[in-house]
Chains A and B, each alone.
Chain A
Amino acid sequence: MIKTKKSAILYSVLLSAALLVPTALVLVTNHNARSSWEGRALDKLPTISEVVKNPKAGFKQFDGFMNDHVGLGLQAIKLRRKMNFKALGVTGDKYIVSNSEGAYFLTAPFMQVERGSPFQWFGHNCNALVTDKITNQYRIFTTKSEAVLSKFGAKVIFTAVPTKSVLLADNLPKSTPQSIVESCKKIDAQNNGMMKVSRKLPDFNFYYPYDLFKARTKEDPKFFPNTAYHWAGESNWAFIEDFAKKENLSLSQVWPKGPCIPKKVRWDLGKLIGVETLTDGCNRDVRELRLEKNSRYGYPLNPESKFETVNLFALTNPYSANDKNAVLISNSFGPLVREQFASLFKTTYHVNLNALNDRDLKLLLHESDIMDVDYVVVIVADFHYPNFLGPIK
């Protein structure tokens, strides 16, 4: 005899109803929001035949479906991550770590390629071992570009953005392995990966503004926003000013002079750790450049386009001080400096290699009409080469 009080039954029904709320919300939740937030396709609900055929796999998939679709899931993720980050400075990702002054570092690849060990990028940048393989990767890229571009007389320049593992080598996160800390401290204007590569490939043009970035970062943590992985704000402007000076190019007639104004700038690591926010930076107004963005131009929107990926930006500059045209080929560091760069030329085409598939990249490099330019400038992160040549290990 199992006796149950009516009040217990009522209580249990109310309790069950409350517990079922997140499941009921599956029906009305906008799942695209979570899919977009996490940058991946959510697990699908398994069919009954899938479960019957292989119950373990079927239920595993059901678990995945519940994890991805349960109501209030995205809100809980954002809330918890924000609480952790704001209150404790915890990123929830061992590949995103901070130093004692609150500067955040991304220490290994995220999303694009399989992750290696933590501090993989620190080790790469600071040990600066220019192996034959690495040299060859740079040679392949520059040679490939040269082969296509030299007939137009374009000047190919390979540039790299100094990143924080070398700029803030004196105050790396406590979790950085000691051997890497020591290596990072030894990095200087001559002893760094890019300069070593440039010495091995003397025929190619390299531009690596280590001194400029080191000095300015020391002066002002907002120069290269210290919570960001990518550069943003004043470092973009300073880079182009220095590059123009080195290449003897005139700045745009409407180039906004400094000083920059302290303001919030895009925080790239925010999305990776699940916290949407801006970060402290210093910027000038890019609208003052008065560029015309012509996204209609180029292969991607050509009806006969052979390209699968839409990834080409065209910018024209009515205030250019010269008649030169340029192509900017970059990884993710490029879009942040695209406008400033375009202001040096009459027309600039920008392609982000990270967003191009291999097939389209090859097409791009072998098609010729947009390559009828005076400059081809490649911008990548410190001692990296474009991703299509393979991951940095």
Chain B
Amino acid sequence: MFLSRREQDQTMLFTSPAFLFLFLPLFLLSYFLLGRRNIIILVFSLFFYFYGEGWIVALLAVSVLIAWLHGRLLMKYGAQKPLLWAALILQLGMLGYFKYSDFFVADIFRIEGAGWTWPEALLPIGISFFIFQGLSYSFDIHRGNHKPARSLIDVATYVAMFPQLIAGPIVRYGSVARALQTRSVRPRNINIGIYLFCCGLAQKMLIANKLAITADGLFGLPQEQLTTATAWAASLSYTGQIYFDFAGYSNMAIGLGFMLGFVFPKNFDHPYVAKSITDFWRRWHISMTSWFRDYVYFPLGGNRGGSFMTYRNLFLVFLISGLWHGAAWTFVLWGMYHGAFLVIERLGLKKVLANLWSPVAWAYTFIVAVFGWVLFRAESVPQALDVAKKMVFPTGGDNSYFFLHSGPDIWIAMGLAVLFASSFVEDTGVKLMNKFGLRSTHAKATAVKMTVAAVLFVLCAIEVLSSTYNPFIYFRF
């Protein structure tokens, strides 16, 4: 479903020379020198999507038009429910056809056969993200949280903005509505943007891509060659890979947003230090979790209908969230798995965890998350079960495959992953800066951050220029 097929997708990756050394500087020059900034963002964003997906960019345009039209009609007729339903049906209809039709036809309803086959639908990159942004627009203007955008350009800029177009974070209309009209760009914004972008680039290039070598190699082994040790190595590598890949991409998007004068929401907050699964979901893919909370969980009734309804709603939300990540049973089960743990924690486990020694609560959360990633990464449910079984029940055999798919550079990446999974490095950095008086003035603090950014960028540029292994994980979700 992902990663190994990503190479075929051929979108313009943030970590490609074409993006870093051509598209990005040309965009920045145009944005700052030509004026009409929202139009510049839109034109470059459409080209960005066209570059990877060709004429499927029309689908993005249709999604924008639906959202915009909803706004226009709302201005004329008021917040009518049929208008909202029409927008929802059209947007979700597109998502359903392009992302889920194959899965539902072939795997769920099994209605193919007798000489008839369902024509396989293309899966446009980032469809889940831009449809969700379009839906956010429709929900927010319907609820009266925000007025509809004044122009089609503004709606299109919001939905199609390239920094977050294909892998998030899912930006809510409310968080950028004002900035689409009025924003200011100062050197300080650019500094913050550069720093965040470089940190994200480093997370992706120096950590996630290295761990991907081990994760891909070991998950690609035939089942009979997997041992307990290699199963754990595969799962832990993937646990690191998916976090640093996705968080890295989010940070790059947030950084680019800053450079343009937007403030995108934080998407990750050290999820692997969480002490419960409930806490984990407050820290992981925050923009998605809050989207589901506001637009699915609350409309379902949230926790207003008593305990049973709360559990049901929680479970349903995570089931849908699993499906949102991908049209496959592994994702559905992954969503249910997390939904089940959230329900169990609500049933009382959360209180128990709160009274436990912190490392124990942390270990529980981390292990649950790791087993969840096995489901998420596996190509099929039987593969996921096999890997999980071997992680639980000691299975001996040949561990040489671990050494084949790892090495000192990957072990270093794993060490960095452990270090940067918590806020330890950041906190220590701040302490050291305080100690040496480097935070006493804004200029000094900026100089330190820019130095860090420059070093990271040079390291990543060397990696980018010399590396061909460069897939992103989250594009198809």
A residues near B (Cβ < 8 Å) are: 1-5, 7-9, 11-13, 15-17, 19-23, 54-56, 59-60, 62-63, 66-67, 70, 72-73, 76-77, 79-81, 84, 88-90, 94, 97, 118, 173-179, 181
Contacts and interface: CB of A to CB of B under 8 A. Distances in A.
A5 B402 CA distance: 53
Given A79-B462, A118-B404, A63 B398 contact: no
Contacts of A175: 400-404
A3 B16 CA distance: 31
A13 B33 contact: yes
Given A70-B17, A70-B21, 9 more contacts: A15-B25, A16-B24, A59-B54, A88-B408, A88-B412, A89-B408, A90-B407, A97-B404, A176-B400
Interface in B309-348: none
Interface string B181-202: 1111111011000100000000
Given A5-B187, A8-B190, A175-B404, A62 B32 contact: no
A66 B182 CA distance: 37
Contacts of B121: none
Contacts of A55: 50-51, 54-55
A56 B56 CA distance: 10
Nearest to B57: A55
29 contacts: A4-B185, A5-B185, A8-B32, A11-B187, A12-B29, A12-B190, A13-B29, A13-B32, A15-B190, A19-B21, A19-B28, A20-B22, A20-B26, A21-B21, A55-B51, A56-B52, A60-B10, A62-B18, A66-B22, A67-B17, A79-B462, A80-B462, A80-B467, A81-B466, A89-B408, A97-B404, A175-B402, A179-B398, A181-B400
B409 interface: yes
Nearest to B468: A67
A66 B16 CA distance: 9
A229 to B, nearest CB: 18
A9 B187 CA distance: 8
Given A70-B21, A88-B407, A179-B398, A59 B52 contact: yes
Nearest to B53: A56
Interface in B403-422: 403-405, 407-409, 412
Interface string B407-450: 11100100000000000000000000000000000000000000
Among the interface residues B261, B409, B465, B467, which one has the most CB atoms of the partner chain A within 10 A? B465
Among the interface residues A2, A5, A13, A81, which one has the most CB atoms of the partner chain B within 10 A? A2
Contacts of B22: 20, 23, 66
Contacts of B182: 1-2
A66 B29 contact: no
Interface in B24-58: 24-26, 28-29, 31-33, 37-38, 50-55
A23 B409 contact: no
Q: Which 10 A-B pairs have the closest CB atoms?
A: A76-B465, A175-B403, A16-B25, A175-B404, A19-B25, A3-B184, A88-B408, A55-B54, A77-B466, A174-B403
B20 interface: yes
Contacts of B28: 12, 15-16, 19
Contact of B462 (A23, A70, A76, A173): A76
A174 B190 CA distance: 48
A322 B31 CA distance: 81
A269 to B, nearest CB: 16
A174 B400 CA distance: 6
A59 B51 contact: yes
B181 A1 contact: yes
Contacts of A66: 16-18, 21-22
A8 B189 contact: yes
A174 B17 CA distance: 36
Nearest to A118: B404
B292 to A, nearest CB: 32
B29 A16 contact: yes
A339 B402 CA distance: 43
Contacts of B26: 16, 20
B403 to A, nearest CB: 4
A2 B29 contact: no
Nearest to A87: B408
Interface string B173-217: 000000001111111011000100000000000000000000001
Interface in B160-182: 181-182
B404 A23 contact: no
Interface of B: 10, 12, 16-18, 20-22, 24-26, 28-29, 31-33, 37-38, 50-55, 181-187, 189-190, 194, 217, 259, 261, 398, 400-405, 407-409, 412, 461-463, 465-468
A94 B463 contact: no
Nearest to B464: A76
Contacts of B50: 55
B21 A94 contact: no
B404 A94 contact: yes
A175 B467 CA distance: 23
A288 to B, nearest CB: 42
Contact of A22 (B21, B187, B398, B467): B21
A174 B466 CA distance: 27
Contacts of B21: 19-23, 66, 70
A11 B33 CA distance: 11
A80 B463 contact: yes
A80 B466 contact: yes
A177 B18 contact: no
A2 B179 CA distance: 8
A332 B219 CA distance: 36
A89 B403 CA distance: 13
Contacts of B33: 9, 13
A178 B29 contact: no
A2 B24 contact: no
A84 B409 contact: yes
Contact of B465 (A3, A4, A17, A72): A72
B32 A12 contact: yes
A174 B405 CA distance: 11
Contacts of A84: 409
Contacts of A12: 28-29, 31-32, 190, 259
Contacts of B16: 63, 66-67
Nearest to A17: B25
B10 A2 contact: no
Contacts of A63: 10, 12, 16, 18
Contact of A7 (B52, B187, B259): B187
Contact of A90 (B31, B409, B462): B409
A307 B259 CA distance: 62
Contacts of A20: 21-22, 25-26
Contacts of B32: 4, 8-9, 12-13
A20 B405 CA distance: 35
A7 B400 CA distance: 57
A53 to B, nearest CB: 11
A170 to B, nearest CB: 16
Contacts of B401: 175, 177
B25 to A, nearest CB: 4
B45 to A, nearest CB: 15
Given A1-B182, A19-B25, A178 B17 contact: no
Given A15-B25, A20-B21, A3 B185 contact: yes
A10 to B, nearest CB: 9
A33 to B, nearest CB: 14
Nearest to A94: B404
Given A12-B28, A179-B398, A2 B465 contact: no
